[in-house]
Structure 1
Amino acid sequence: MHVIATAGHVDHGKSTLVRALTGMEPDRWAEERRRGMTIDLGFAWTTLGSGEVVAFVDVPGHERFVPNMLAGIGPVPAALVVVAADEGWMPQSAEHLAALNALGVSHGLLVVTRSDLFDPALATAEAQEQIAATSLGAVDAVAVSAVTGAGLDDLRAALDALVARLPAPDRDAPVRLWVDRSFTIRGAGTVVTGTLGAGRLRPNDELELAASGRPVRVRGLQSLGAPVAEAAAVARVAVNLRGIERDEVGRGDALVTPGRFHRTDVVDVRLAGDPVADLPSTLTLHVGSAAVAVRIRPLGVDTARLRLDAALPLRVGDRALLRDPGRHHVAGGVTVLDVSPPPLRRRGAAAARARELSTMDGVPSQSDELRRRGLVRRPELERMGVPAAGTPVAGDWLADPDHWSALRKRLAEEVADYARDHPLETGAPVDALRHALGLPDRALVDALVAPPLTARSGRIAQAGQGSSLPGPVADAVDRVRADLEGDPFRAPEAARLAELGLGPRELAAAVRAGALVRVADGVVLLPGALDEAVAVLSRVSQPFTLSDARQALGTSRRVAVPLLEMLDRSGATRRLPDDRRVVAGEVDG
């Protein structure tokens, strides 16, 4: 299927033309037919001679209903510009054409109606001249009379040629169905309609309402008035939604594939049309079927930041238009450059951002996004509309190669600085390094570690760091070793440790370096003391009491209690129900 919008000033002529082509009535409301004026969007379809099916979105022509018109042309890839031979080019035709140009619609056809009433040559020449200056460029023209039928066969042939030129849609893309109608059918529930520009839909698909993030499920699908098992882009579709009320969804909302769109209320854009500096501070942004008020902050000659009154599911490269409803004026087209722009808080940030935006073209590029951001999660890139590839550096994080190399160099510098400032520690804590490098995830710090750096127990150190002690600490440990020479289990008292300058930090460093063994807070022995204690206790009559152990080891209760508990935990000794112990492997006495 192909979907084409019928635009132009002549409401009655457009509706009559669509009716003559399709045999269907595009004006859905009795008021429209009574007044001969299209008020809201109309829909009809036909099969061309080639067998291709074309669906028409008939948009209002009157200036009072331009928002409705924009909701209809927003998601449509091609347009019929309809002009009446007896009226020629009209101001409202110019606004419709300006909207198509702003949205970048590049495929179209000129149809001059009422050719039975007036020679179409003048209207055709004038309209083609106007259209040629827009994104539509040079278009074919067909003169018709819906009353006599003259030219309708030529129009069908021209439509066949037009649809043959349309680019193939991406049917594997995520779904973003802009809603242009919502209503209730008794026995079925809420139904929404829209133009499916990319992707495909099936019953039971899970989607999200973009406005609220609420999950919804497709109950059923129709296309061109008939149930279908699958709707693939490009297509007009009616989607029956399960478990949602009619007032929870409406025009301007969108059904989207979960997790694949960035819902944003701040975007940086490039504008084509009125000079950015001349724009009023507030305009209306039209994208898809949505229309939201935006505040404009000029940044560069043709770039600006838009702050939306309501968040929308936008992606890099999206086309939209800005309109001044008070002046009935299309201010220009918008190309979305960034859907997650950085804050502008520092002096000079706006000017720097303008320079950066001047290099951006709105074409999604992973390498460009990584270069600008340094680090990005793969799902975040995909939500921006940027295809993601390559191997993540950690988890789902993708990194710009130059930025990653610079981070690795900075990590080594930070570790070296930490070692200089904290000589008693065996390395820098990972969280401290994460903050120093401004990284959002500690897994990134771990991933940066490479020789000569090593990671252990939540710290990162230079190779060999912590294996030797500062001179004063090493001297103090030597004096502890001398004290324990003849009494290996008579641990130094707190006063002796303080006299030697071995406070908690120095003791911790000595334990990490393997120079001492911590038995309890403030209780340290020499390496090998545990094995020696087991050897001594194995010569004691089994089982033995705490008092037996204390006497055999020649130490105090202050040392014996935590030492035996440590041996219990290691499995070297086993504690019995009566609080006596045996050395593992010894027979109970």
Structure 2
Amino acid sequence: MIVGTAGHIDHGKTALVKALTGTDTDRLAEEQARGISIDLGFAYAPLPSGQILGFVDVPGHERFMRNMLAGASGIDFVLLVVAADDGIMPQTREHLAVIEVLGVTRGAVALTKCDLADEARQAAVAEEVTALLFDGPLAGAPVFRCSARTGEGIDALRSAFEQAAVPATEPRPEGPLRFAIDRAFSLPGAGTVITGVLVSGALAVGDSLCISPLGREARVRALHVQGRPGERGERGQRCGVNLGKIDLHDVARGDFLLAPHLHAPTQRIDVLLRVLTDEPRPLRQWQPVRLHHAAAEVAAHVAVLEEAPVAPGATGRAQLVLDRPIAAAVGDRFVIRDHEGRRTIGGGRMIDLRPPQRRRKQPRRLEQLAAMALEDPAKSLSAQLAAWPWFVEQDGFARDRALGEPEMQLALAQVPHESVRHEGTTYLFGTASWSRLEQTARREVGQFHERYPQLLGPSIRRLMPAFDPRLPLEPLTAALSHMVARGQLVREGGVYRLPGHRLGLDRDDAALWRRIEALIGGPARFRPPRAGEIAQELRARDFECRRVLKAMSRQGRVAEIAPDHFFLRETLTEIAGIVMELARESDGGAFGAAQLRDRLDNGRKVAIQLLEYFDRQGLTLRRGDLRTVDARRFERYREGALGTAAA
């Protein structure tokens, strides 16, 4: 368990931690000379249970509030320190407000310096503290009267920590590694060392990880867990990590050490944001602020997503646009201060790491945002699948929420859905949405067949505008591919058709086809005119003749052996028989184009085009100017078993 101190300057936080642990957390020379904490201090204390408490001692001076915020993130238990002789002061209130917006709900109060205040004064300050905590996250927290100088109350406080360190519930699945870095320095002979808190997952010597947001790969060479050498750190523990050959310039306070697949920095985040009650004015549109997330501090602007500015004491949705990327996760807590860093404005919870830049206040987007704001993964997933854009990318959902595989599978088991894998991406659809997609696909493709019987089917871009729900190209492609795999649709030549659908012609095209068929069949079947010649003979438009011939080619009634030169399928079957006869009659089974020309009483050019067509079908094999045949394939071709597609 990590215990964080909070309270006004000179209220005895550091002295209290020293009394509890024996460690002076003021490590800097300036801190020791001035007698105040400037940066974060760390100390550890073993418990009889074998657990080790980690203490984060934060500065109380308002000038060092940013350092306090760096330490406040990641604590499990807050120790609010109030001096009995001084009472509640400005930083007491501000630290308490920070604890509230960071979502810390477990804590205790240490009434310090009781040796400097009489009983009446102690009682009065204790009553003030109880009133201050009323209706807040620490309401009802126990108050311990302490003195670091005399030792009063130290044992009772230590016992309270021991009791609080006992888990109240079954441990959650670990999830992937997220390690929030609050210090980075270099040691001679060791290289770069970082310290921080394991937000999720586990950390072990030898792990290959990623420093985010930079994206630099790193390997754990050595590890200290809760102040002691160790081989493995777990969620909630403070660790020191030796990264060895990593340059100190590649890592800084506020970065995260992550499992590599979690590395996806963001510079735009939609949040639920609460403005502090004592803030003098509402949060206005595009207000500049300082964002504090874990130990990171970055300049940002606030785009309010509500109809009106967020008033003091109110909670609203907003988009934070950052000056530089950070590593974050959905559900992470944050604090915002004014752009000069002088006062805390509010804070809240991150709900979307990949929000749109435009149309961010549209009703359908706000409905989606409400679904994303649900903290339980299964409930959020279910709500998102029932809202625009009607699908969720599974890997992105798990990554942005920092869910491990067991957690993701647990959520999926609770949510009725259709899972579609396509080109490395898994798309999730709600069952109701998926049913509508299937119905729309069958209806639209069927109506296309009725309207355009001469065409094989519609393309995906033709289908897109009609789909309910309307989907972007990638997930729609995935959905249609899934239907093809299930046999609900057939994809052929870049278009979709219903199983069993056969091409046909409308009335006008059917009449034109009957006239064309008469020209390319009968006595002229071995010398059919080309499409342009057919159009001239029939006094029809070129493009109409070509369109009908192409449609009949897709139906298998004709084959285009060369550009604009079509033969009836039965004519090609007849010619195939002639080719077989030539092969049987020729020496060694090899014959030339001139022999076919003579048998067909046609020109050499057409004979060569026919043989090249048979070459493409795999029926003949060219050797110089001669051809041989594959008798078995020729027989199958003549029986129609090789299909009807023209090469």
Query: Fold-level match, TM-score > 0.5?
Result: yes
From 517, 530, 533, the equivalent of 1:493 is 530
- The equivalent of 1:104 in structure 2 is 103
Q: 1:522-561, aligned counterparts within 5 Å?
A: 522-540=564-582, 541-542=585-586, 543-561=590-608
In 1, Cα distance between the equivalents of 2:433 and 2:439?
A: 10
1:169 positional shift: 5.5
Q: 1:427 to 1:355 in 2, by over 3 A?
A: closer
Q: 1:208-247, aligned counterparts within 5 Å?
A: 208-247=210-249
Partner deviation per Cα, 1:101-137 (whole Å, 9 max, x = no partner): 1111101111111111213322222222212332122
Say whether 1:427 aligns with 2:457.
yes
CA contact (8 A) 1:71 1:288 kept: yes
Partner deviation per Cα, 1:136-168 (whole Å, 9 max, x = no partner): 221111112211222221111121122226666
Partner deviation per Cα, 1:305-351 (whole Å, 9 max, x = no partner): 221222223333222222226473322231223222344438xx446
Q: SS of the residue aligned with 2:39? A: coil
Alignment-mate amino acid for residue 350 of structure 2: V
CA contact (8 A) 1:336 1:362 kept: no
CA contact (8 A) 2:82 2:88 kept: yes
- The equivalent of 1:114 in structure 2 is 113
Partner deviation per Cα, 1:214-268 (whole Å, 9 max, x = no partner): 2222222112343211111211101111432111111111112222365322222
Alignment-mate amino acid for residue 440 of structure 1: L
Gaps of 5+ in 2: 311-315, 633-647
Alignment-mate amino acid for residue 249 of structure 2: D
1:11 positional shift: 3.9
CA contact (8 A) 1:572 1:584 kept: yes
CA contact (8 A) 1:295 1:306 kept: yes
Q: 1:242 to 1:531 in 2, by over 3 A?
A: farther
1:571 positional shift: 4.3
- The equivalent of 1:86 in structure 2 is 85
In 2, Cα distance between the equivalents of 1:269 and 1:65?
A: 26
Q: 1:285 to 1:452 in 2, by over 3 A?
A: closer
Q: 1:535 to 1:289 in 2, by over 3 A?
A: same
1:550 positional shift: 0.4
Q: 1:469-484, aligned counterparts within 5 Å?
A: 469-483=505-519, 484=521
In 2, Cα distance between the equivalents of 1:20 and 1:274?
A: 34
Alignment-mate amino acid for residue 443 of structure 1: A
Q: SS of the residue aligned with 2:262? A: coil
Alignment-mate amino acid for residue 111 of structure 2: V
Q: 1:142 to 1:524 in 2, by over 3 A?
A: same
In 2, Cα distance between the equivalents of 1:477 and 1:358?
A: 59
- The equivalent of 1:311 in structure 2 is 325
Alignment-mate amino acid for residue 561 of structure 2: V
- The equivalent of 2:265 in structure 1 is 263
Q: 1:139-178, aligned counterparts within 5 Å?
A: 139-164=141-166, 170=172, 172-178=174-180
- The equivalent of 1:411 in structure 2 is 441
Alignment-mate amino acid for residue 420 of structure 2: V
Q: 1:93 to 1:167 in 2, by over 3 A?
A: farther
In 1, Cα distance between the equivalents of 2:203 and 2:508?
A: 74
Say whether 1:458 aligns with 2:494.
yes
1:64 positional shift: 0.6
Q: 1:453 to 1:246 in 2, by over 3 A?
A: closer
- The equivalent of 2:130 in structure 1 is 128
CA contact (8 A) 2:94 2:344 kept: yes
Partner deviation per Cα, 1:7-66 (whole Å, 9 max, x = no partner): 111446111111111111211111111111000000111112443311100000111100
1:506 positional shift: 1.9
Q: 1:283 to 1:574 in 2, by over 3 A?
A: closer
Normalising by the residue count of structure 2, what TM-score does the alignment of the two structures yield? 0.83
Q: SS of the residue aligned with 1:366? A: helix
CA contact (8 A) 2:352 2:372 kept: no
- The equivalent of 2:643 in structure 1 is none
Alignment-mate amino acid for residue 571 of structure 2: A
CA contact (8 A) 1:169 1:234 kept: no
Alignment-mate amino acid for residue 393 of structure 2: R
- The equivalent of 2:479 in structure 1 is 444
- The equivalent of 2:343 in structure 1 is 329
1:357 positional shift: 4.8
In 2, Cα distance between the equivalents of 1:108 and 1:416?
A: 65
In 2, Cα distance between the equivalents of 1:5 and 1:168?
A: 23
1:270 positional shift: 1.9
- The equivalent of 2:298 in structure 1 is 292
Normalising by the residue count of structure 1, what TM-score does the alignment of the two structures yield? 0.91
Identity of aligned residues (%): 36
Alignment-mate amino acid for residue 319 of structure 1: R
Alignment-mate amino acid for residue 507 of structure 1: L
Alignment-mate amino acid for residue 304 of structure 1: A
In 2, Cα distance between the equivalents of 1:291 and 1:166?
A: 33
Alignment-mate amino acid for residue 454 of structure 1: V
1:73 positional shift: 0.7
Once structures 1 and 2 are overlaid, which stretch shifts more, 135-144 or 273-282? Answer: 273-282
Q: SS of the residue aligned with 2:490? A: strand
CA contact (8 A) 2:2 2:236 kept: yes
CA contact (8 A) 2:77 2:104 kept: yes
Partner deviation per Cα, 1:141-198 (whole Å, 9 max, x = no partner): 1112211222221111121122226666546212221111000112221111001132
Q: SS of the residue aligned with 2:573? A: helix
Partner deviation per Cα, 1:273-302 (whole Å, 9 max, x = no partner): 347981251222222111222211222362
In 1, Cα distance between the equivalents of 2:480 and 2:598?
A: 51
CA contact (8 A) 2:532 2:564 kept: no
Q: 1:315 to 1:435 in 2, by over 3 A?
A: farther
Q: 1:452 to 1:102 in 2, by over 3 A?
A: closer
Alignment-mate amino acid for residue 371 of structure 1: A
In 2, Cα distance between the equivalents of 1:84 and 1:493?
A: 102
Q: 1:585 to 1:21 in 2, by over 3 A?
A: closer
From 341, 360, 372, the equivalent of 2:355 is 341
From 371, 394, 401, the equivalent of 1:378 is 394
- The equivalent of 1:368 in structure 2 is 383
Alignment-mate amino acid for residue 283 of structure 2: L
Say whether 1:283 aligns with 2:280.
no
Q: 1:350 to 1:481 in 2, by over 3 A?
A: closer
Once structures 1 and 2 are overlaid, which stretch shifts more, 508-517 or 44-53? Answer: 44-53
Q: 1:152 to 1:318 in 2, by over 3 A?
A: same
The Cα RMSD (Å) is: 2.7
In 1, Cα distance between the equivalents of 2:251 and 2:335?
A: 23
Partner deviation per Cα, 1:367-386 (whole Å, 9 max, x = no partner): 12222331122111112216
Partner deviation per Cα, 1:530-566 (whole Å, 9 max, x = no partner): 3322322344441433222101012222321111122
Q: SS of the residue aligned with 1:231? A: strand
In 2, Cα distance between the equivalents of 1:85 and 1:17?
A: 13
- The equivalent of 1:77 in structure 2 is 76
CA contact (8 A) 1:220 1:240 kept: yes
In 2, Cα distance between the equivalents of 1:177 and 1:485?
A: 82
In 1, Cα distance between the equivalents of 2:171 and 2:134?
A: 25
Alignment-mate amino acid for residue 612 of structure 2: E
Alignment-mate amino acid for residue 190 of structure 2: A
1:69 positional shift: 0.4
- The equivalent of 1:29 in structure 2 is 28
1:84 positional shift: 1.3
CA contact (8 A) 2:97 2:276 kept: no
Say whether 1:581 aligns with 2:581.
no
- The equivalent of 1:15 in structure 2 is 14
Q: SS of the residue aligned with 2:348? A: strand
Give the number of equivalent residue pairs: 582
Once structures 1 and 2 are overlaid, which stretch shifts more, 355-364 or 84-93? Answer: 355-364
Once structures 1 and 2 are overlaid, which stretch shifts more, 236-245 or 495-504? Answer: 495-504
Q: 1:463 to 1:472 in 2, by over 3 A?
A: farther
- The equivalent of 2:191 in structure 1 is 189
- The equivalent of 2:642 in structure 1 is none
Alignment-mate amino acid for residue 374 of structure 1: W
Partner deviation per Cα, 1:487-509 (whole Å, 9 max, x = no partner): 43112234432134453322110
